[in-house]
Amino acid sequence: MSESETGLLLLLLAALFGLTYGLAGLLEKLRIPGILAALLVAMAVHYTPIGSALTAAPLGDAFAFLAQLGVLFLLFFIGVQIDLKEMRGLSRDIVWATVLNTSVPFLLGVLVMLALGYGWGIAFVIGLTRMPTAEAVIVPILDEFQLIRTRVGEFIVGAGVLDDVIEVFLVALVSVWIGEKSGTLAATEREVVDVVISLLVFALVAWLGYRWILPQLARWLAPRPRNLILLTMLVLFGLGGYSQHSELGTVVGAITAGVLLGPVFRHAGEGGAQATRAVRAVSYGFFGLVFFFWVGLSVDLEGMLRQPQLALLLFLAAFIGKLLGIFLMVPMGKLDVREAWTVGIGLNARLTTEIIVAKLLLDAGLIDVELFTALVAASSVSTLVVPLTFTLLVRSWGEQLRRRPQALATKGERHGD
């Protein structure tokens, strides 16, 4: 970018931050997290000259890069707070939550498309787009209400990470299908094999880092905050860059980096605590806000008006499907009703995966503009409704969600958990 374009970007960001600062003060008086002000401000300026400038090249490219850094820092900070021992104790339940909260919306999505007269191929792929979760939208709210290290937080983060693995294979599957239709199947099959190999390499590197590499690196310099931040940049950008370059997604790399560095920070004592506070301040004071600006500018209000019925049906297939899937865990003794509502709503956060898949299908000529618009609009409805609804739930039930009901704990023990 030129100097004048850089200056314009800074001025536009200053305007967004100024509006957010003012609105955040009003929201916090209502006990609503101030970070949601960034989402609402960006939605308000979507169709103004500010929104147009930030979504068009070259400013749009720089703005999107900052938003991706926001994802990295937000999810890294969440990963730092994850206790692997506690997560391991819930691992079976998290797998159940992932299976149920993806399979039920998938089935509902397929049924909706078949009922509307679409073929089995399109119905299957669109059903898959009802499955993923964009946990990056929800985790800042969890952290704001101190719910990360609760059962609700662990379910949302754990199931969200497993969802991200599903997203990788969803995009790969769609690529294979498009390749089959366009006669480039051999190339797409090689891409799928490359993704699987990258996932195995990533898992191996993460395990080696956790067991041997990071403990050695942490002793190379004194455990001062600035040295720990330097180590953070190395691990976060290294894992985040590799996972993105390998088409695994930055989310997997960012959370893994946080999980790996969490023990290093805790072992460093006060230096680690200061580094954690510094990462949190940068994440929520700058990068996280830019990410929510980007999310808000992605909301397609016009699409909702052009295809309201189809968009609403696609939204409900995912929304009701995820809730039903999670509520099946209530009679299983894994969650109580409040937890099921909160986890079910939280896992309904959506963002880019379905839009990416829809764009691939549209470019390949496998879906029409009407269905593409409806898919984008359905994602936009989720972006608007889910964070606000989730905030209201955790604001009302926060105290109860921070402690596990004794009756549920006893029931879980009888199930052998």
Does residue 34 surpass a pLDDT of 80? Answer: no
C-alpha angle 292/160/164, rounded to 5°?
A: 90
Write the CB contacts of 254 (distance below 8 Å, at least 6 apart in sequence). 71, 72, 73, 74, 75, 76, 79, 236, 239, 240
Query: What pLDDT does residue 76 have?
Result: 83
Could you give the residue ranges of the DSSP H alpha helices within 268-368?
A: 270-282, 288-298, 301-306, 308-327, 337-346, 353-363
Nearest-angstrom CA–CA distance, 133 and 393: 18
Q: What is the pTM of this model?
A: 0.65
State the residue range of the domain holding 125.
3-414
Write the CB contacts of 257 (distance below 8 Å, at least 6 apart in sequence). 76, 79, 232, 235, 236, 238, 239, 240
Q: Mind listing the pLDDT tens digit for each residue in 36-88?
A: 788 788 888 888 888 888 888 888 888 888 888 887 887 787 777 666 665 56
Q: Which CATH number does the domain housing residue 190 bear?
A: 1.20.1530.20
The larger pLDDT score, comparing residue 256 to residue 149, is at 256
How distant, in Å, are the alpha carbons of 111, 304, 312, 313 from that of 309? Answer: 15, 9, 5, 6
Q: Mind listing the pLDDT tens digit for each residue in 225-254?
A: 888 889 889 988 988 888 777 766 666 788
3-state secondary structure 21-77: HHHHHHHHHCCCCCCHHHHHHHHHCCCCHHHHHHHCCCHHHHHHHHHHHHHHHHHHH
Asked if 380 and 319 count as a contact pair (C-beta separation under 8 A), the reply is no
Q: Mind listing the pLDDT tens digit for each residue in 2-26?
A: 888 889 989 999 999 999 999 888 8
The larger pLDDT score, comparing residue 7 to residue 29, is at 7
Query: What pLDDT does residue 12 have?
Result: 92
Q: Total domain count for the chain? A: 1
Counting every residue written for the chain, the total comes to 417
Does residue 164 surpass a pLDDT of 70? Answer: no
Of 112-121, 192-201, 304-313, 379-388, which gets the smallest average pLDDT? 192-201
Does residue 89 surpass a pLDDT of 90? Answer: no
Nearest-angstrom CA–CA distance, 333 and 173: 34
Which of 17, 142, 131 minimizes the C-alpha distance to 77? 142
Nearest-angstrom CA–CA distance, 410 and 406: 6
Query: What pLDDT does residue 170 have?
Result: 63
